[in-house]
Amino acid sequence: MKTMRFHKLKELLLAFSFCMSFSGNVYALEPGNKAPDFNLPGIQGSVQLSKTIGSVVYVDFWASWCGPCRHSFSWMNAMQEKYRSQNLQIIGVNLDAKNEDAKKFLAEIPAKFTVAFDSKGETAKQYGIKGMPTSFLIGRDGKVIYQHLGFKEADKESLEKQIKSALEAKK
Amino acid sequence: MSTTKSTLLGAAFVTAAMALPSLQFANAETPPEQGIVSFKYLHYQDSQGIVAQPGSTTSAINTISGASSVASPGTSGGATSGSQDRIGVNAYSVNALVPVAGKWSIGTTYTSDSVSGASPTYHSSGLTTMKDLRRAVDVQLTRYFSRGSVSFGTSYSKETDYISRGFNVQGSLSTEDKNTTLTLGGSFNNDSINPVNQPGVDEKKQVAAGLIGVTRVLTPQDIVQLNFGYSKGNGYYSDPYKVNDNRPRDRSAVTALARWNHHFDDNGTDGTVHLAYRYYSDSFGIRASTFETEYVQPLYKGWTVTPLLRLYTQSEADFYVSAGSAETADPTQPTPPPTDAVYYSEDQRLSAYGAITYGVKVSKQINKDWLVDVKYEQYEQRAQWSLYGNGDKGLTPFKAYSIQVGVSRQF
Amino acid sequence: MKKDVIQKSFYAVLLMCMLGLSGCALGTAVQPWEKATLARPEMTFEGDKLDNAYTEHIYSSKEGASGGAGVGGGGCGCN
């Protein structure tokens, strides 16, 4: 009787872990795929990805309530400054449902890069993001080179390396 | 027995309970971004209704055999109405949580609590004074992964007659969308007990516990959690400072806890309601239900007010001995346990009763880094409020209040 | 008694798995960018650590039942 119970238990745990591994499955954008185009309202007019062809684009999905996002702003500001001349363009796509939350955040921590607003999260869905923040490095050919989830102090170095090599790559 | 010892009687057995670091299933999925240091002060005082004393206007303060001078705890009101102070606690705790290298965190808590007052030696009677100081420390190391975390902890606490050492491990794993989290935990505690009133007694208690839980995001405004716990202990469960107290040397317990947090968004008040229900059942025969709710209401300028309500009821332990008619007539005479009883206890905490807590917490976020808070709670236990069987009519109502003052700073 | 406990834990795990599985059956998963409210501290189950420690240990020293929210908080001599 006891062994049977444990047997059942094992099955249930298996079923559970199976479920755990699948329930979060959403469409994922792979490196080499063409980055889906978007046209979103920005601070100064609309922001359209396809208009940036020829630049290396770093698209960062963020929100005002997300702690690591807050952290990433100074780094993105620095990267935009440093690599502007080499044609790096950083686009921060804000996903706050309430636009005023984003505005409040930007008043406190100004962005020195392009900011676009997607309060419905449609772009985020297209890009299949799984956490906040998520960034995509897009080559001059418009194809995704690299995708990164989260933002930690330790990530800065490898992210900059990726940006550098994308800027140096031939068209 | 010396005066010093007599004042220590029973102290530890009350203090040991106080402020021991308890591990919540708190390990967050992401490492803390900033360090945080918190300080909290607690003042706690409990009291009971006065037991009627025939031929006397004040209630008797008993002492265990041979104890000499004992201080009389404060009383207020008349001999049969009013109340009598029991235990008072003044405690403070300091907690620090430090992120390390973006993937780790180290947390540590130090607690000191000083306890003094009087505690019954049986039912609500035979109050004996006590005094003790307890110090405790715990350390928790956590490693964070993209979809979970693992943490290891250890704790140590010491008072005059009680030393506790504990170890624990817990881990959590989330689905890729982070909407479902499975948590597992285990702990082991090894305690040494050396009652000051029984110098020859050198006892041990060992308790192993496990917990499994699921946390699930239901909507952008709802999150639920279900935890199941099991613990099994072996060793000295009796209370050496009570008369007629002999408990089983094994105790196992199961708990089921369901929690639900709901936020009233936009069109609502911007407040959050917390609901929790816990079922408890153990091998002593105690079954208990606890319902808790609080409502967190943010106000202007960083102020938050949180009223709370808690309802509790338990059944009596199988071996609980109610106050008999002889004791009711003369409370100086403890009721003898049934002659055939192997286990017996006249500890109020093992009787059937119900309890109500209400309180309020007010906090203020002063700026980005500083947070201060104050909490007041009022608690009352009554035998007739029991929903699981009849309470012991020989017990007087038990009341307590507590005040907490806290401050924390981010770095 | 022991049998009873095993049985109870079994049902506990069963119930929990059902909760987990229902999570995978219900299609409307909350998206990462919809978690603004859930990111608020009052929406977590963590609470104020020191407050919880005080409160839990007051209750475990005055009541017959204890535990449920986590493991480890033992060492309680409060019979």
Hey, what domains does chain A have and what are their CATH numbers? 28-168 (3.40.30.10)
Q: Which fold has domain B3-410?
A: Porin (2.40.160)
Nearest chain B CA: its distance from C55 CA (Å) = 8
Contacts with A, C 18-57, CB within 8 Å: 20-21, 23-24, 29, 31-36, 39-40
Cα–Cα distance, B97 to B35 (Å, whole number): 5
Nearest chain C CA: its distance from B76 CA (Å) = 22
Cα–Cα distance, B177 to A93 (Å, whole number): 20
CA distances from B252 to A154, B14, B280, B329 (A): 46, 21, 11, 37
Contacts with C, B 73-92, CB within 8 Å: 91
B89 close to B111: Cβ distance less than 8 angstroms: no
Cα–Cα distance, A91 to B326 (Å, whole number): 83
Q: Which residues pair with B410 in a beta bridge?
A: B36
**Which positions ≥6 away from B24 have C-beta within 8 Å?**
C45, C46, C47, C49, C52, C69, C70
Q: Which residues pair with B360 in a beta bridge?
A: B307, B376
CB contact under 8 A, B177 and A130: yes
Cα–Cα distance, B30 to B147 (Å, whole number): 9
- Among the partner-chain residues C7, C10, C23, the one whose CB lies closest to the CB of A23 is C23
Sheet of strand A134-138: strand arrangement = A114-117, A88-94, A56-62, A134-138, A144-149
pLDDT beneath 50: ranges in chain B = 1-27, 56-59, 63-80
Pick B3 or C3 by higher pLDDT. Answer: C3
Tell whether C4 lies on the interface with B, counting CB pairs under 8 A: no
B407 close to B37: Cβ distance less than 8 angstroms: no
CA gyration radius, chain B:
23
Domains of chain B, residue spans:
3-410
Cα–Cα distance, B331 to B56 (Å, whole number): 11
Q: Which residues pair with B304 in a beta bridge?
A: B298, B363
Residue A10 pLDDT? 61
* Core vs surface per residue B163-192: b (16+ CB within 10 A) or e: bbbbebebbbbbbbbbbbbbbbbbbbbbbb
Residue B368 pLDDT? 87
Tell whether B251 lies on the interface with C, counting CB pairs under 8 A: no
Q: pLDDT tens per residue, chain A (171 residues)?
A: 444 455 555 665 565 555 555 444 446 688 888 999 999 999 888 999 988 888 999 999 999 999 889 889 999 999 999 999 999 999 999 999 999 999 999 999 999 999 999 999 999 999 999 889 999 999 999 999 999 998 888 889 999 999 999 998 865
Q: Choosing among C33, C37, C43, which should be mutated to test the A contact, i.e. which has the most A CBs within 10 A?
A: C33
Residue B66 pLDDT? 35
Tokens of B382: 């009554």
The pTM for the full model equals: 0.84
Residue C11 pLDDT? 65
B153 close to B23: Cβ distance less than 8 angstroms: yes
ipTM of the complex: 0.87
